[in-house]
């Protein structure tokens, strides 16, 4: 790879060991993907929950935190993905105190690197959405696909170590979605229906992601509907989860796709027509928990303030069944707004729990389920359905209204 003098100096250790290690990792990954050089990034976003980090990852962060400040501080504004524990609520969820302690150690180390502990996978809805053409190094696949597709900024999926390396150096290898040529459409989808709610948007993303099938596919989707930010959040997060897809185009809606013809090199490929019955088939691929629902989860991605308001309106004046838990996850900023606006109180009076700075599947989900006896899980998140079976749950998916009704009745 061609490196600038500054990048070569970082690689030689002239700016300290943390930046040397970071550059070494970036060069290794860049060489793997045949990157010609590095690109400067203006922001980073790091996934670093302790279930993923483990003891070894936390020790790695603590070792970085022990270096002098001028060597360890990140070079660009850097945000964090959700954590594994809500320190105010973990005891009520029967999470281990050892997990909470490991989280405190990780947070302390990350803070000492100058990282902003935003603990969110909806930074684009909460803090600052990137602008078209901006190069960033974001973790969380839902964040990346929204950043690339809706914001028309440029990021690859950056796993925690790579995002941290980008944060320390202000660089990432120039490959994948930093390059114009990889942002062209590769497959075309058309719908004969309009998704009706977040669950259907997620299901649609799941179907397209599954068909697209790889990180390097760029689906182009012709919509009849005009989606909201939350619709596209569920759509993109599910597509990224099921297909490892990092970019899609919506002709007439997303910035890089004024029309179908302009996003393909050459004539558009044949159209995959998706009918509503494909959504119903997707729903039927999961069980229906007609005897009992153990836990109803609204998360993955974290909820926006508008989603939480909608949920609170459905819960107001009702009471969650004694055998069922209702768990909602958002970030600290949205939680504070919900507290201030009286929305949290409505959810809690109904027996629900609004968690801050976490997301369900990142919360030591296996231990969480075992400690609380949660197996039959209901959610409106297709992304969560895809992830959570590996943790021993039996998920089902339904619209928010159906999920709330099931939480009240204790069954679907």
Chain contacts with another protein (rule: CB under 8 A): 25, 28-29, 31-33, 47-49, 51-57, 60, 139-141, 156-162, 176, 209, 213-216, 240-245, 361-362, 366, 383, 386-387, 389-392
- DSSP states of 84-114: S--TTTTTTTT--HHHHHHHHHHHHHHHHTT
Nearest approach, Cβ of residue 9 and another protein (Å): 21
Query: Between 162 and 223, whose beta carbon lies closer to another protein?
Result: 162
Structure tokens at 121: 């996978």
Structure tokens at 189: 């989808």
Q: What are phi and psi of 294, to 5 degrees?
A: -80, -40
Query: Between 245 and 403, whose beta carbon lies closer to another protein?
Result: 245
Query: Between 133 and 392, whose beta carbon lies closer to another protein?
Result: 392
* Dist. CA 267–CA 7, nearest whole Å: 41
Contact yes or no for 297/320 (Cβ under 8 A): no
Query: Between 112 and 244, whose beta carbon lies closer to another protein?
Result: 244
Nearest approach, Cβ of residue 390 and another protein (Å): 4
Nearest approach, Cβ of residue 29 and another protein (Å): 5
Nearest approach, Cβ of residue 410 and another protein (Å): 25
- DSSP states of 300-360: SSPPPHHHHHHHHHHHTT----TT-EEEEEE-HHHHHHHHHTTHHHHHHHTT-EEEESB-G
Nearest approach, Cβ of residue 51 and another protein (Å): 8
Contact yes or no for 249/223 (Cβ under 8 A): no
User: Other CB atoms closer than 10 Å to residue 280's CB: what's the count?
Assistant: 12
Query: Between 167 and 326, whose beta carbon lies closer to another protein?
Result: 167
Nearest approach, Cβ of residue 301 and another protein (Å): 12
Nearest approach, Cβ of residue 308 and another protein (Å): 25
Query: Between 269 and 392, whose beta carbon lies closer to another protein?
Result: 392
Q: Which residues make beta-bridge pairs with 79?
A: 45, 116
- DSSP states of 34-65: T--BEEE-S-EEE---HHHHHHHHHHHHHHHH
Query: Between 53 and 107, whose beta carbon lies closer to another protein?
Result: 53
């Amino acid at each position: 790879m061609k490196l600038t003098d500054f990048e070569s100096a970082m690689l030689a250790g002239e700016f300290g060991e943390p930046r040397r290690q970071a550059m070494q990792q970036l060069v290794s990954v860049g060489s793997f993907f045949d990157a010609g050089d590095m690109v400067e990034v203006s922001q980073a976003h790091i996934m670093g929950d302790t279930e993923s980090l483990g003891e070894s990852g936390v020790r790695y962060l603590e070792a970085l935190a022990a270096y002098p400040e001028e060597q360890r501080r990140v070079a660009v504004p850097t945000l964090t993905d959700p954590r594994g524990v809500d320190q105010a609520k973990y005891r009520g969820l029967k999470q281990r105190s050892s997990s909470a302690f490991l989280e405190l150690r990780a947070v302390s180390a990350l803070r000492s690197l100058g990282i902003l502990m935003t603990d969110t996978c909806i930074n684009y809805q909460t803090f600052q959405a990137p602008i078209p053409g901006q190069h960033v190094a974001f973790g969380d696949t839902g964040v990346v696909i929204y950043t690339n597709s809706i914001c028309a900024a440029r990021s690859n999926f950056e796993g925690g170590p790579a995002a941290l390396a980008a944060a320390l150096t202000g660089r990432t290898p120039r490959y994948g979605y930093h390059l114009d040529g990889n942002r062209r459409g590769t497959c075309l989808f058309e719908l004969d229906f309009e998704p009706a709610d977040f669950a259907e948007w997620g299901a649609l993303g799941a179907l397209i992601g599954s068909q697209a099938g790889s990180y390097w596919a760029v689906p182009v989707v012709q919509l009849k509907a005009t989606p909201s930010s939350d619709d596209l959040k569920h759509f993109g997060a599910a597509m990224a989860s099921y297909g490892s897809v990092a970019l899609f185009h919506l002709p007439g809606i997303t910035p890089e796709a004024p029309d179908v013809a302009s996003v393909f090199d050459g004539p558009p490929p044949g159209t995959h027509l998706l009918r509503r019955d494909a959504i119903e088939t997707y729903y039927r691929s999961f069980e229906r928990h007609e005897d009992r629902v153990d836990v109803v989860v609204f998360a993955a991605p974290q909820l926006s303030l508008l989603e939480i308001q909608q949920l609170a309106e459905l819960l107001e004046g009702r009471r969650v069944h004694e055998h069922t838990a209702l768990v909602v996850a958002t970030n600290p900023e949205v939680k504070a707004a919900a507290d201030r606006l009286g929305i949290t109180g409505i959810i809690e009076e109904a027996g629900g729990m609004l968690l801050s700075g976490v997301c369900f599947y990142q919360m030591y989900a296996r231990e969480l389920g075992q400690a609380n006896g949660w197996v039959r899980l209901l959610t409106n998140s297709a992304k969560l359905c895809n992830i959570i079976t590996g943790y021993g749950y039996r998920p089902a998916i339904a619209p928010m209204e159906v999920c709330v009704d099931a939480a009240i009745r204790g069954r679907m």
